[in-house]
Amino acid sequence: MTKSKTIICRCEDVTLEEIEAVIEKGYTSMDEIKRITRCGMGQCQGRTCRTLLLAELARATKTHPNDIKVTTYRPPVKNVKMSVILGGMEDEENS
Amino acid sequence: MKKTAEVVIIGGGISGLSIAYNLASRGMRDVVVLEKSYLFSGSTGRCGAGVRQQWGTEMNCALGKATCEIFENLNEILDFEDDIEFKQGGYLMMAITEKEVEQFKKNIELQHSMGIPSIMLTPREALDIVPELNIEGILACTFCHKDGHANPFKTMQAYAEAARRHGAEIYTYTEVTGIDVEENRIKGVHTNNGYISTEKIVIAAGAWSRQVGMLAGCEVPVRPERHQILVTEPVNPILGPMLMSFAGNIYLQQEPGGEFIMGFGPAEHETFNISSTWDFVETMCKKATRYLPYMKNVRIVRQWAGLYEMSPDAQPILGKAEEVEGVYLATGFSGHGFMFGPITGQLMAEYILGFPTTLPIDKLDVGRFKRGELIFEPSVV
C-alpha cells in the first residue's frame, strides 16, 4: 500500500504521505502537526490517529515515544448535541 | 542558536511572526523570533479567527481595513503554497438594545467616512443573509461583506515559512529567562537555550508581555484574561457571516470546512488559567441556540481556552517602551491580535527601520495611559 493511500487520521483524511511531508518541513511536535494537518482534530478527537502519529513521529525523529509530548485531551469525551446539554430530549429521534 | 541578532522578537504568535517576516523581507539581517513553546501554542493558535473592519473608533477602522486588504492577498504576498482559508462572508453585528442601535448608527457613519462598505439592516433584511437566524429581540443589524475569518494555523505557518525564506530564525521551545540592560540600553537576551546579544527587542508576547517587560525594567500594562471557545462537528454550510452581538456577548462563525466556532467574553478576574469549564459549554449552548435554533442538533466536538491580553483601553499598544532604549512593543491587542497581525507586522517593521509608517501609530504608544489619552473601543466582545 502506498503512503498516499495510507490513512493516519480517518476523520480528517490525513495520509501518511502528508504527515511525512510536514515532518520533513521541520514540524516535529505532535501539537504542530495536529494544527497544520488537522490530524486528530476531527470528530473522534484522535482516538485512532493519536497513537499512529506518535509512532510515525518517533520513527522519523528517532525519539522514544515516551519522550514525545502528546497533544492535550480536550472535553467533551464524546461528541454531544447542544440539545442534550440544554436538557431537551425532543430531538432524540434525529440522533 | 545564533549568538547575536539585529533584533530579537519575543513571542512566536501572529504578531511576532508577521513582524519578523516584514523586517526580514525589507532586508534586515539576523532577525530572531523566540517562542517559549511549540509554534501555535499561544493565543493566536487558540483564537476565534475573525477579521473585521466594523469598529467604533477611527484607529481600529483604519487598522481593520488595512489588515483586511493584506489578508485578501496574503497567499500571494507570502508565496504560500497552501491556503490561509480567508473566507469573506462578512460580519453580521446584531443590536439588541436601543443604546446599541444608536452606537451602530454612529459606527456606520464613521465606517463610511473611512471608506468601509458596511450597511445598516433591519432584522428582516438580515434574514436574507442568514435565513436560519432567530430575529426575536434583535432591533437592528449592521453588515460588512468584506469582513470574515481565516485559518490562524495556516496564516501563522505562511508567515513563519516566508520569514524563514527571508533569513529569519524562529526558535521554538526557547523561553526568555532574563534581559540585559546597560545604561538604559538593551544588551542581550538570556534564554533556556543560550544567550543572544542584541540591541533591539520586540515584546510581542501577548498575555505574557507584562512579565517579559519586567525582565527589561519596562512597564507593559496588559493583563491576561481567559476566553473559552468551542468547535462543533462539520455540517453543511448554512452560515455565511460571523454573527456577533456585544450586549448579547457572543460570536459565532462557520468554518469553510463546516465546523462552527463560537465563544463569548467572560466576567473573570486576571488569570493565566486556560482550563475549560462546564459552565462555559452550558452558557454557550444557550447563547448559540438563542440566535441559531438550528444549532441544537449540532454536536460539540471540542472546547479549549486561550488568553486575551487586555490593555487599559482595549486597543493595541504599538511603538517603543519609555524606560529603556531598544525595546519595542506590539501587544495589548485585547482579543484582536490575530486579525491585526498582518498590519501590525508591516507597521512595526516600518517603525523599527525608521521609515514613515503606512498608518500613524503615535496615538497607540504606551505613553497614552500616563497622559490619560485612552481611546476606548465601544465594539468589543
Q: What is the ipTM of this complex?
A: 0.93
Assess whether pLDDT exceeds 60 at residue A92: no
Q: Using CA atoms in the order B51, B56, B58, B61, what is the torsion angle rounded to 10 degrees?
A: 20
Query: Which pLDDT tens digit goes with each residue over A26-84?
Result: 999 999 999 999 999 999 999 999 999 999 999 999 999 999 999 999 999 999 999 99
Residues B301, A79: C-beta atoms closer than 8 Å? yes
Is the distance from CB of B218 to CB of B208 less than 8 angstroms? Answer: no
How far apart (Å, rounded) are the C-alpha atoms in residues B200 and B185? 9
Helices (H) and strands (E) in chain A, counts: 4, 3
What is the count of residue pairs from A and B with beta carbons less than 8 Å apart? Answer: 72
Query: Which pLDDT tens digit goes with each residue over B312-345?
Result: 999 999 999 999 999 999 999 999 999 999 999 9
Residues B297, A91: C-beta atoms closer than 8 Å? yes
Q: Which residue of A has its CA nearest to B301?
A: A79
Assess whether pLDDT exceeds 70 at residue A93: no
Q: Which amino acid is at B324?
A: V
Q: What is the DSSP letter of B149?
A: E
Residue given cell 454550510 in the structure block: B237
Chain-centre distance for alpha carbon A90: 32
Q: What is the DSSP letter of A58?
A: H
What pLDDT, on a 0 to 100 scale, did the predictor assign at position A89?
47
Cell of B246: 456585544
Is the distance from CB of B366 to CB of B321 less than 8 angstroms? Answer: yes
Phi and psi (nearest 5°) for B334?
A: 55, 40
User: Taking CB atoms and an 8 Å cutoff, what residues of chain B touch A88?
Assistant: 296
Question: Of B220, B246, B219, whose CA–CA distance to B141 is shortest?
Answer: B246
Nearest to A85 among B38, B161, B282 (CB): B282
Nearest to B300 among A31, A42, A79 (CB): A79
Is the distance from CB of A22 to CB of A33 less than 8 angstroms? Answer: yes
Is the distance from CB of B201 to CB of B10 less than 8 angstroms? Answer: yes
Confidence bin at A94 (pLDDT 50/70/90): very low
Cell of B242: 460571523
Q: Which portions of chain B are predicted below pLDDT 70?
A: none
